[in-house]
Amino acid sequence: MIAVPATEKPYSREWLLSEQPTSRHQARLGRAYVIWRRFSANRLALAGLAIILLLILVAIFADVLAPHNPVQGDLRNSRLLPPGSAGYLLGTDDQGRDILSRLIHGSRLTLFVVVLVAIIAAPVGLIIGTVSGYAGGWVDAVLMRITDIFLAFPKLVLALALVAALGPGIENAVLAIAVTSWPPYARIARAETMTFRNSEFISAVKLMGASPFRIVLRHVMPLCLSSLIVRVTLDMAGIILTAAGLGFLGLGAQPPLPEWGAMIASGRRFILDQWWVAAMPGAAILIVSLGFNLLGDGLRDALDPKEAGQ
């Protein structure tokens, strides 16, 4: 086919879908547009995205949205009120605190945990995986052996023991979860690196005199990002559940912080008569981790159509 001069209006649909992008900018935007079209065709994925966006907005505007103080309650008048009571949409807990306000403020802690774990674990896995895959030889053998060792550990139990030694607290919980969640990322990054380690563009960069450090950083890592992002998103739900489990056992965020797992633990005593104290935070965890799972599934299908529906 003869190249048709690009006459489409910039940023129009035709311009984005053009087979002959005239600039790098256009090619990038076009690719993003195609992925977005595939992603948004999946209604469940959009629902997941909406849940996560809502979570972020709630966390940002928690101070404005929360009708009551999340930490201090009205012990005299509003202890263990059922959902739907005047002014307390989701009821109150044993200290007279509004559960809705606590959930709203707890969204910050949830986001704090997942973002921090991702920020720590993903780069660690990315570096280990790309270095291992690009270097090969004994570096690869040693790094992958370490990765496999960590991969073989039971995550929750290891995180539990680590927090027990470090002392309870949300920062230590984050650290423990991060320590147990980087190995799959290293595996993925290595597998991706292996596929284009011997490809021509790497040889070309090498010929131009790029150091291995530069090649890994500038040419290998960016190509591993998309599959890594998918995996991290899919892992978010697991991270939230582990953090909630640690919180439930009293090892995560300490009272009076409104961490959702810890809220379930404190509601456990009243579960038979005042079920909502424990039920509401659990529902919040379920919705958010469902959102991350839907979003991750959608991203995977959009970025990698081969695996769609599998």
Q: Which residues bind other proteins (CB under 8 A)?
A: 145-146, 148-150, 152-158, 160-162, 164-166, 237, 241, 244-245, 248-251, 261, 264, 268, 271-272, 275, 278-279, 281-282, 285-286, 289-290, 292-294, 309-310
Minimal distance, residue 268 CB to other proteins, in Å: 6
DSSP H/E element including 40 = helix 24-40
For residue 300, which of 110, 44, 19, 111 has the smallest C-alpha distance?
44
Check: CB of residue 18 under 8 Å from CB of residue 30: yes
Q: Which is nearer to other proteins, 26 or 227 (CB)?
A: 227
Residue at 300: amino acid letter? R
Task: Indicate the residue among 3 and 152 with the shorter CB distance to other proteins.
Answer: 152
C-alpha to C-alpha distance for 31 and 34, rounded to whole angstroms: 5
Nearer to other proteins, 34 or 287 (CB): 287
Of 21 and 282, nearer to other proteins (C-beta) is: 282
Nearest distance in Å: CB 242, other proteins? 10
Residue 291: both structure tokens together: 């959102």
d(CA 174, CA 65): 26
- Least distance from other proteins to the Cβ atom of residue 25, Å: 38
Q: Which is nearer to other proteins, 75 or 142 (CB)?
A: 142
Which residues does 309 contact at the CB level (< 8 Å), separation at least 6? 301
Nearest distance from C-beta of residue 279 to other proteins, angstroms: 7
Nearest C-alpha neighbor of 184 from the set 296, 52, 263, 25? 296
Residue 126 beta carbon to other proteins: minimum distance, rounded to whole angstroms: 21
